[in-house]
Structure 1
Amino acid sequence: MGDTADHAFDDDENYVPYVPVKQRRLEKMHKYATQRRTAEPTPDEQDDEETAVQARNNMSLLDQIVEQKKLNLIPEKTEEEKRIEEERQIEEAQARHKALVSVQEAATGTHYTEPIKTSWSPPAYIVEKGDERHDAIRQKFHIITEGDDLVPPLTNFSDMRLPRPILEYLDEKKILKPTPIQIQGLPVALSGRDMIGIAFTGSGKTLTFSLPLLMFALEAEIRLPIERGEGPIGMILCPSRELANQTHENLCNMAKALVDGGYPELRAVLCMGGIDMKLQDEAFQKGFHMVVATPGRLMDLLTKKKFNLDNCKYLCMDEADRMIDMGFEDDVRTIMSFFKSQRQTLLFSATMPKKIQDFALSALVQPLVVNVGRAGAASLDVIQEVEYVKQEAKMVYLLECLQKTPPPVLIFAENKNDVDDIHEYLLLKGVEGVAIHGGKTQDEREYAIKSFKAYKKDVLIATDVASKGLDFAAIQHVINYDMPKEIEDYVHRIGRTGRSGKTGVATTFINQHCSEQIRLDLKLLLREAKQRIPPFLAALEDPAEKSGLLGGCTFCGGLGHRINNCPKLEQQRRLQMNAIMGGHHESGGGGADF
């Protein structure tokens, strides 16, 4: 029976014997190899190729790379090329974390292509003067603009179509002519364009973004009045309580001037830590047009649905580079997710490195960059004096420095304990002073700022909470009790003097406790501002000059180092690792200063 079956299979012409999978693979590989050999031009070339392939198969990958370098198949990179390549990779990695868009927009792929339209337009006779005339004005005031469809600069407030009460208010405040950032920044903001504004500290940036918000709120109120539970029309974000309070006061003063001139009431709400929640709830219920806030408190209120951003079409971030930094990135991204439609976005700061601008540009719609001076440069109206003072001699030498100029004087220290020690020492020596830092209550901080601004106190001692954006009109002298860890903080500190065209003095104590990196940044900053460089800084060697890689750090703007050894970037990496490992996030610590 079995023999008969076998014989039947042998006679069947369609019978195909089973071929194991392994054998079929070998036959297929043999077929491909045969096809490749027949495609080769000559037997000699075939032998050479087979020899080379066999040799490569017997070599490790490292040996193959060495062999290719010997044959010049892989060009050898110079040290400069390697460093530039490394910097490019770091910048690209940072860019992936910095996109200033909401989670919803990122998830849905929403992308706006046209700027917001407003009813404002520059006067026709100004437009008719042509681009050459506009470029001449920008050149005269050292205004650098980047972007498409530039808005004409306006050198008079009367050309900006502002209401008469606002013009009278500006005259009363002795603000007779716009500053360079206002000449170009105000027309850009009023026309509805997204904007990055960069200018020296004390150059009038606050008016550049708060006045357009007031005008948009006024127009919205006239068209359709805000009712109970509605608002806001626009929002300004600030990194500290003191700056938010100052910006809110300016808005309220301008709104009052409008009411006195017969215009409708415009209400501004301040959202920050230390404010009575009941008062805030009353303001929300009444309906409001503008909000000035710190990120932590604003995020808390939005999450609790105390109000919404359904009608909010204007967002300004003061000291924007700080907001985009690691400590505020998540907060800002969360806040952005509450917007329901397109908004006009303005970013302002005195220290905004080029790469930070690029990160922000990814989220703005046809933005215009308005730059007055190099981002991160010190004000040329400040005389910078750097003195070597030993750690134990600082306190005594502080009294001598106070004799340089009449009061008021601002003293900066790095930590809270030093602020309290300096305050106590000066009180014992009979110097009228007040102190602020993140550890004090909101009432104490407000009392300190108000009494100092009212000239009731001669000296204000503070941490960096008072260095960003605060306007003290008459300060002639800033003393840095210690050098900050980042050159950006130094620029912000000394910018509290030499404001609005006046001259000021900044004295900085420095010693071996300061890192060589920050000393080198300071040396090159002094050189750029044509200030005297003391011998102990002049003796520092600049590695960038030796390597030929000039230009400074593209991340923080420091002139004395490159991005691959940026202390600020290293600090952010540590914070990121702490967050991953479950450590305390920096933004939580920063919240104390909100």
Structure 2
Amino acid sequence: MSEDSALRNWSRKRRISEKSESSDDENYVPYVPLKDRKKQHLKAIEKKLGRSTVLKKEDAQKDSTNEEEEVEDVAGEVQSGPKSHLSLLDQHSELKRMAEARKETAKEKMLKEEERILESVAEKKALMGVAELAKGIQYQEAIKTGWRPPQYIMDMPEKRHENVRKKWHILVEGDSIPPPIKTFKEMKFPKALLSGLKKKGITNPTPIQIQGIPAVLSGRDMIGIAFTGSGKTIVFTLPIIMFCIEQEKRLPFVRGEGPYGLIICPSRELARQTHGIISHFSKQLEEDGFPALRNILCIGGTAVKDQVETIKRGAHIMTATPGRLMDMLDKKMITLDVCRYLVLDEADRMIDMGFEEDVRTIFSYFKGQRQTLLFSATMPKKIQNFARSALVKPITVNVGRAGAASLDVIQEVEYVKQEAKVVYLLECLQKSPPPVLIFAEKKHDVDVIHEYLLLKGVEAVAIHGGKDQEERTRSMEQFRKGEKDVLVATDVASKGLDLADIQHVINYDMPEDIENYVHRIGRTGRCGKTGIATTFINKTVEESILLDLKHLLIEAKQKVPLFLATMQSESEKYLDLGGEVGCSYCGGLGHRIADCPRLEALQTKQAQNIGRKDYLAHNSADW
């Protein structure tokens, strides 16, 4: 090869090499960090879709990755920062502590939001008489009575009183709380009353009576909350009887005077039962030489004539339902001029289920300060806060959680198809001997069940709001005396009724409110006895009610069926965040106030009423 050809070959190879190198330089892509690549990608999208869309995506990405980045930063700080000398276990503890701190912040934020919701729906209008509100009258001190606890109990240290409350699971709120008293004799009741209690099988006071009776005898306003069958009726009946005896001895009641004590009940059956208890103890006292007390029962469906005759002679105690009481006050058949003792039994149900305005109107008929007592097994904070506006330095006595089911009731929940429920009733009746109580939501269902049981040879009676009072009274008496084995009823028989030795309660359908469920099953397992409650559920029941039922069963340590145990809601993850468990508005355990179906229904109803008022106002203006 010549020198020229060799030089040409070398030159050609050099040009190819330079071209290859320049091509590699052009194809070379430098490494770009992940964050920079995301920014470049977002810029490309920005050019296509516009700036506003990109901003929304950026905000969403920041929110979703914010917590992860915080955890990474904290982890990095613990592992490679100034704390890198710590062991892995110590680093884990540190991370856990920081996570708990973030969780606490989330909890506080949620609780503040719930407090804001509760405040927004809280009743701003005080539960007081119109005249008192107009004149700005506010009573500062409780009514004074002549009763005092035994001196040796008053001399006992406060620690002793706290130990008694702790032993009986009594929670008390208020100022200057009277000491708990463990026997009726130490409460200074006369022998005749003690004898009357023994005839009813009552020898020792229950927890609500241990603290509640001294508070009432001291003249204090009170909110009493305890599970069904705990003896709340005795707490307010015995003191009013003693107060009336004291008044009668000092200055006998004349014609047309009274009543001194007024007890308002939501149902006729409960009013009749309470009147019977008062009459029993009054008779015991009269037989022992005490003045006779005139007790009057004012309920719908009965003749007014007999009631008016008793009033004319001077009545000491009146037990009434809101409707009949309002009617008699409007017609000026009675006055509350000398009334100084007011009891709202099952108070939350009256205020929360439509009697609120009636109760407010009744307050307006009082001419002076009265001692006000509110009792119920279920009383959410919303009702307690609302009711306190009518009370003077109130004491709240709470035995167990408000709305909790009795632990003496064995709760069984069964999935039964709608069309099979009536037939399955006969099988359920075999679980226990009579008497048995069957609850249904609708009057029509009560009639259908009653007719079916009669056809099958079961001794049954039925009551509901559509039957006349005479039939309702007769049915209740037959069931109480044991002449009939089964009582079929709507919720008129669910609140407060003390039906002796009920062995079994059957919920033909799940009530629309978990509070009604608690009242229903509370008709059994009373006074320390055990009972069974069977509830039929199926796909027609709302999920929110089933979740409340699930958590109620868990709280009472009852068996939870698989189809309930597998149910979960979004709000359940907040149940362990602290504060009060469950909903602060309705008391349900399966949800928080932000998801409360009852509150949602109330707000929907209010919105509809606002629209209706506007429509009516518009039409009236046209006319």
Smaller-chain TM-score bracket:
0.7 to 0.9
- Residue 360 of structure 1 deviates from its aligned partner by 1.4
Contact in 2 for aligned 1:386/1:509 (Cα 8 Å): yes
Secondary structure at 2:342's aligned position in 1? strand
> What residue is the counterpart of 1:510 in the other structure?
537
2:468 to 441, 448, 455: 441
* Correspondence for 2:587: 557
SS in 2 for 1:157: coil
Could you tell me how far apart the structure 2 residues matched to 1:95 and 1:159 are?
41
Percent of aligned pairs sharing the same letter: 63
- Asked whether 1:124 is paired with 2:151, we answer yes
Q: What is the aligned partner in structure 1 of residue 390 from structure 2?
A: 363
Map 1:224-303 → 2, pairs under 5 A: 224-303=251-330
Q: Look up the match of 2:160.
A: 133
Of 325, 343, 351 in structure 2, the residue corresponding to residue 324 of structure 1 is 351
Query: Aligned runs of 1:178-257 on 2, under 5 Å?
Result: 178-257=205-284
**Aligned residue among 384, 396, 402 for 2:423:** 396
Cα deviation code 1:377-407 (max 9, x no counterpart): 0000000000000101101111000000000
Correspondent of 2:519 among 467, 492, 497: 492
Q: CA deviation at 1:85?
A: 4.7
Determine the C-alpha separation between the residues in 2 that align with 1:469 and 1:446. 16
Q: Aligned pair in 2 of structure 1 residues 355, 166: CA closer, same or farther (>3 Å)?
A: same
User: What secondary structure does 2:355 align onto?
Assistant: helix
1:132 Cα deviation after fit: 1.1
Q: How many Å separate the matches in 2 of 1:469 and 1:263?
A: 29
Q: Which amino acid aligns with 1:563?
A: I
1:423-434 map, 5 Å: 423-434=450-461
Q: Contact conserved, 2:192 with 2:284, CA < 8 A, in 1?
A: yes
How far does the alpha carbon of each residue in 1:67-116 deviate from its partner, in whole angstroms, 9 at most, with x for none? 9xx9xxxxxxx986775455333322332346321122222211111000
| Inter-partner Cα distance in structure 2 for 1:149 and 1:86 | 33
Question: 2:342 is matched with which residue?
Answer: 315
Q: Could you say which residue in structure 1 is the equivalent of 2:69?
A: none
Which residue is equivalent to 1:474? 501
The answer for the alignment partner of 1:92 in structure 2 is: 119
Q: In 2, distance between residues paired with 1:133 and 1:84?
A: 35
- Between the aligned partners of 1:461 and 1:326, the Cα distance in structure 2 is 23
TM alignment of 1:44-193, pairs within 5 A: 84-97=111-124, 99-193=126-220
Task: Report what 1:535 is aligned to.
Answer: 562
Q: Secondary structure at the match of 1:460?
A: strand
2:368 to 331, 341, 347: 341
C-alpha deviation, 1:577, in angstroms = 5.0
* Cα shift at 1:504: 0.4
SS of the equivalent of 1:158 reads coil
Aligned length: 512
Larger mean Cα displacement after TM superposition, 186-195 or 546-555: 546-555
Q: Distance in 2 between matches of 1:161 and 1:481?
A: 46
Secondary structure, in 3 states, of the residue corresponding to 1:505?
Answer: strand
Deviations 1:545-590 (A, max 9, x none): 334656211111100112233232234345545655669xxxxxxx
Q: Does 1:545 align with 2:572?
A: yes
Find the aligned partners of 1:117 and 1:385 in 2 and give their Cα distance: 48
Query: Does the 8 A contact of 1:184 with 1:370 survive in 2?
Result: yes
2:85 corresponds to = none
- Counterpart residue type for residue 600 of structure 2: E
d(CA) in 2 for partners of 1:456, 1:571: 42
| 1:567 corresponds to | 597
For residues 481 and 345 of structure 2, the distance between their equivalents in structure 1, rounded to whole angstroms, comes to 25
Amino acid at match of 1:377: A
Distance 1:181-1:81 versus aligned 2 partners, 3 A rule: closer
CA contact (8 A) 1:267 1:289 kept: yes
> How many Å apart are 1:139 and its aligned residue?
1.0
The aligned counterpart of 2:102 is none
| Equivalent pair of 2:583/2:591 in contact (CA under 8 Å) | yes
Q: Which runs of 5+ in 1 are unaligned?
A: 1-62, 71-77, 584-594
Q: Note the residue ranges of structure 2 that are not aligned, 5 or more in a row.
A: 1-54, 63-104, 614-623
Which residue number corresponds to residue 29 of structure 2? none
- Rounded Cα–Cα distance in structure 2 between residues aligned with 1:95 and 1:219: 40
Q: Distance in 2 between matches of 1:130 and 1:170?
A: 30
SS, match of residue 270 in structure 1:
strand
Question: In terms of mean alpha carbon deviation, does 150-159 or 570-579 score higher?
Answer: 570-579
Q: Which residue of 2 aligns with 1:386?
A: 413
Pair member with larger Rg: 2
Counterparts of 1:23-34 in structure 2, within 5 Å, are none
Task: Give the TM-score normalised by structure 1.
Answer: 0.83
- Aligned-pair distance for 1:323? 1.9
Give, as a single letter, the amino acid of the residue that structure 2 aligns with 1:95.
A
Structure 1 contact 98–360 (Cα < 8 Å) conserved: no
Correspondence list, 1:404-423, <5 A? 404-423=431-450
**Matches of 2:612 and 2:269, distance apart in 1:** 30
